[in-house]
Amino acid sequence: MTKIPPPATLAGFELLVMVAAVRLGADEAHPVSIAADISERTGRIVRRANVYMTLQRLEDKGLLTTALGDARPERGGKPRRLVTPTREGVAAVRATMAAIHAMTRGVKI
């Protein structure tokens, strides 16, 4: 009998990127909006180069997929790279969040 592998866990910034992608939805999640969302909610300065590298890493792990969107005038007629979390990606977010909750429960920080 083959064992089902446990869901992947995410590093800090990976988690933020995945949550932002889930929140923004398939039509609106792309590097610029993800960086803006993280920056707005956490107050930290987000380098877009970091977002690109993290998205690449997550895609390599199979936690999300990307596809080109339509060309847009506000982007000088260039398309967006839209981000969609995979089922494994969503599972990884849940597993990481659960681990954080489990670790922090009852701890006064």
Partner 1 sequence: MSAPRWATALLRHLAAPDEADVLIGDLEEAHRARVARRGAVVAALLTSLETADVTLMLLRKRVRLPRLGLSGLDFKLGVRMLVRYPVLTLVGSGSLALAIAIGSTVFAFISLMLWPRLPLPDGDQVVIVQHHDQSANTPESRVVADFLRWRGGMATLGDLAAGRRRARNIRMGDGIVEPISVAEVTASTFAMTRVAPILGRTLTDADAIAAAAPVLVIGERIWRERFAADPGLLGAQVLVSDVPTAVVGVMPAAFRFPSVFEAWQPLKLDDATVKPRAGMGITIWARMKPSVTPAQANAELAVLSAQAATDWPATHAHLIADVQPVAFSEIGNPEERTLIAFMNLVVALLVLVVSGNVALLMFARAATREGEIVVRTALGASRSRLVGQFLAEALVLSTIATIAGLALGQQAMNWGVNTFTRAANGGEPMAFWITSTLPPISIAYGVGLALMATAVTGILPALKMTTGISSRLRETTAGAGGLKFGGVWTALIVAQIAATVTFPAIAFFAKAMAWQIEDQQIGVPPERYLSARLGRASDMSQARFETDVRRLREDLAAVPGVARVALADKLPLTWNGHYVIEVDEGGQGPTDEDFVNGHLISTAAVEPDFFAAFETAPIAGRLLTPADYVETPQVVVVNQSFVQKVLGGRNAIGRHLQYKSRSGDGQILPEQRWLKIVGVVRDMGMAVEPSPKTAGAYFPLRLGDLGSVMIAARVSGDMTAATNAFRSIAARTNPALRVSDVQPLSLVTANGLRTINYVVRALSVVSLAAVVLALSGIYAVMSFAVSRRTREIGIRVALGSKPSRVVLAILRRPLLQVTAGIGFGGVLTFVIARLIEIKLGFSPAVIGYLLVMLGVCLLACVVPARRALNVDPIAALRAE
In whole angstroms, give the CA distance from residue 27 to residue 7. Answer: 26
Smallest gap, in angstroms, from Cβ of residue 62 to partner 1? 20
Smallest gap, in angstroms, from Cβ of residue 50 to partner 1? 8
Nearer to partner 1, 48 or 87 (CB): 48
Smallest gap, in angstroms, from Cβ of residue 7 to partner 1? 28
In whole angstroms, give the CA distance from residue 27 to residue 70. Answer: 10
The residue ranges that bind partner 1 (CB under 8 A) are 30-32, 35-36, 47-49, 52-53, 68, 72, 74-76, 78-81
Count of CB atoms situated within 10 Å of the CB of 68? 10
Nearer to partner 1, 75 or 94 (CB): 75
Of the candidates 73, 5, 84, 20, the one whose C-alpha atom is nearest the C-alpha of residue 51 is: 20
Nearer to partner 1, 58 or 93 (CB): 58
Contact 85, 10 (CB under 8 A): no
